[in-house]
Structure 1
């Protein structure tokens, strides 16, 4: 067994190095270029169409574009936004944050393409709900049902250890903060998640619409108070971020030093892993939305990246850098604990509690949505009835994971994730011409962009 674990770890280390960063990083850049960097050209308009319409209500029985976006955001806004960013700083230096921003801009291209394709090729299931995602555009767009089935099977299986890892992080946080037995935490999480997912996409959308803004705002406000208290440090902080993006940084304080390659690698990885652009998960939530055009729904993917990476991840970085917590002795040994330490130093014990509660909410919301994603794979492969069976398997895995069970499964998590990313990015490249045509249609039509501009005037 040990030799299998070592082999899987070796393969994972290779795949999640430059091959993955090139696939997602360079892939996002090429797709953005093919679409004329629309995310920069039409940025003010996209902001008006998303942030400006956050509170527009859906019709009866519908999922609004904002609800679909918050459902997808619930999956991407997770523990990694709080604990992944300081790791990038400690191993890649402050310059890693610059490359995280670059990846966010490029990832907008990938995420937009996959959401538009998901919306274009969606279909109605037996319950009259819209379903979509990579498995549908691979089957109907590429005429490769075998590839769509492979994608669906890999994602359906990958989500079991993924849920276990998320549940384990919840139980570990609750044990440390409140002294709760992991099995008790698992049971509570199971009930909370079960009550939501059994209600289907409409209840998931309704829950995440309220939960995601609340949890993101609570953490953001708490973090920004710390940043504003250290506002005099911001010029130095931005100097570190831009200055060390292109040159190595020597060891200082608790920081061991880094080279340019490490800065790029950690920054690119943080951007890629954080916003899930190119992974193919977001289209499943967005395909359920009621909208007048696939491109308009695609704008909400850009909204997600702005909130997830440019707002929440950047806020975490500013807290860590402006307080100099990353320079303290022993910082390298516990990089993931730096935000909690910064909050604790500023607010006292209540600060550490805020970070812990934020982590708990982030992770619970992630589990809710990825169970929905898993059900959609099972439905595509084996029908609606089997998807209900998978729902209960996923719910059971919460308790198993919370108690720390099946840890040997976790080693397969990253390699299985790679097995969904590569086919999805292949599909995006093969079908991006259709997205280019739809984008051109949207921005040149009197029914969409031109009408909106005329109204605004």
Structure 2
């Protein structure tokens, strides 16, 4: 036990360095830059983004290159982002950074929408077809082809494999699934490990098409059910909502005054936990979502960028907010519990039937975490394909499946520390690539909306002539 504590302390020190002020400033700063250069695109173009998400241009779809529809690509990306971060990650952020961490999560997500947009644009612009005829894209391709830096591109791919195997993709998700299965069904961890490992193998060995088909069915259904459950908590406790929001805002600015000096939470800790957990949840700036976006059947980088942007909105602004408000207004963050147990208590206290809260949280967690595993399997596969060619994919898949099997037996604290470290290391080369290619994103955006404006003007003139 002492050895594990020492390892955890060493890793915590590394994590504090990786997620220090430089990375946080770079993450949020990149989002701020794109937000203003793109003229608050995440506000003014969000309705258009949602329209593109649920509509399909048949002419473009039929002759466009890609493996899956734009909606399926987004579902694959959401399958990887909507996971333990939305239930366990939010609880961890509030437990260690206070309720104020949620405000910093919102701020990071708002600017992260612009970052996610830029990632989606570059993913389509610089993607290519691999030896198996599948689309390959993402930061490793736009860093190499756009920036011209192979070293940084390989660095991203190596860290991407690390996140898939050691971070978001395996340990954190399976650990949470095992916990949830034990809470609601009293299933031993080893049985959960076997079942999840077999299911992951059956789905991921089928490639992106099978992964996207599963994601298209599970992600929207479970997201809607979880949101409805969280809304029920807010409705049944609507009088406590204003107080919860006030506490979140006040705690973000002055956590000691809001929570008591003995808590030891500072503004810096609240910011670090909020931004860190936010990135763990929505992955804006991490560089993962553009890997899925690159598989979309579309000819327009901007359209896919807008669709990709909705992922951060759905993940953090909607789902994480629901979880966070439930935890704060019920006061479960003072329960001494952590992770899924804290969120479960919040839903149990917030709903008239406690058993209902237990099932909503934990069944939601099981499905969210499972889809994250299959989504990250694909991300890691594309990184391996970039590094070794298609010959390395099969070995990677078997290693990934083996790592899924050992996830339930690791400490939750250790899991999140490892995940944070590899996440931060993966984000660095991606953010460098985004900054280097900022003018490409801006030019593509301006050209697209100028063309759209002219098309609307022509259509309006034609309509007037007909009348």
Query: What is the TM-score with the length of structure 1 in the denominator?
Result: 0.89
The 3-state SS of whatever aligns with 2:253 is coil
Measure, in 1, the Cα distance between the counterparts of 2:309 and 2:322: 18
Change beyond 3 A, Cα 1:299–1:393: same
1:32 is aligned to 2:43: no
Measure, in 2, the Cα distance between the counterparts of 1:370 and 1:193: 11
The 3-state SS of whatever aligns with 1:141 is helix
Correspondent of 2:85 among 62, 80, 87: 80
**What pairs with 1:306-321 in structure 2 (closer than 5 Å)?**
306-321=313-328
Change beyond 3 A, Cα 1:431–1:251: closer
Change beyond 3 A, Cα 1:239–1:444: same
Change beyond 3 A, Cα 1:131–1:348: same
CA drift at 1:14 = 1.8
**What pairs with 1:62-73 in structure 2 (closer than 5 Å)?**
62-73=67-78
Measure, in 1, the Cα distance between the counterparts of 2:460 and 2:181: 53
1:441 is aligned to 2:447: yes
Q: Paired residue for 1:174?
A: 181
Per-residue CA deviations over 1:235-262 (Å, capped at 9, x if unaligned) read 3233333444434453669994754444
Measure, in 1, the Cα distance between the counterparts of 2:396 and 2:390: 10
Would you say the 8 A contact 2:276–2:420 is kept in 1?
no
1:364 is aligned to 2:367: no
1:141 is aligned to 2:146: yes
Correspondent of 2:115 among 110, 113, 121: 110
Q: Paired residue for 1:343?
A: 347
Measure, in 2, the Cα distance between the counterparts of 1:337 and 1:255: 24
Q: Which moved more, 1:38-47 or 1:146-155?
A: 38-47
1:235 is aligned to 2:255: no
**What pairs with 1:102-251 in structure 2 (closer than 5 Å)?**
102-162=107-167, 163-248=170-255, 250=257
CA drift at 1:275 = 1.0
Per-residue CA deviations over 1:273-301 (Å, capped at 9, x if unaligned) read 22101111001100000123101000122
CA drift at 1:446 = 4.3
Q: Which runs of 5+ in 2 are unaligned?
A: none
1:43 is aligned to 2:46: yes
Change beyond 3 A, Cα 1:256–1:314: same
Per-residue CA deviations over 1:80-110 (Å, capped at 9, x if unaligned) read 2112223333443433322222111111121
RMSD of aligned Cα (Å): 3.1
Query: What is the TM-score with the length of structure 2 in the denominator?
Result: 0.87
How many residues in Structure 1 have an aligned counterpart in Structure 2? 451
Q: Which moved more, 1:220-229 or 1:96-105?
A: 96-105
Correspondent of 1:423 among 429, 446, 449: 429
Measure, in 1, the Cα distance between the counterparts of 2:145 and 2:402: 33
Would you say the 8 A contact 2:171–2:415 is kept in 1?
no
Q: Which moved more, 1:429-438 or 1:141-150?
A: 141-150
Q: Which runs of 5+ in 1 are unaligned?
A: none
Measure, in 1, the Cα distance between the counterparts of 2:243 and 2:418: 41
The structure in which a higher percent of residues are helix is 2
Change beyond 3 A, Cα 1:356–1:221: same
Correspondent of 1:16 among 19, 22, 25: 19
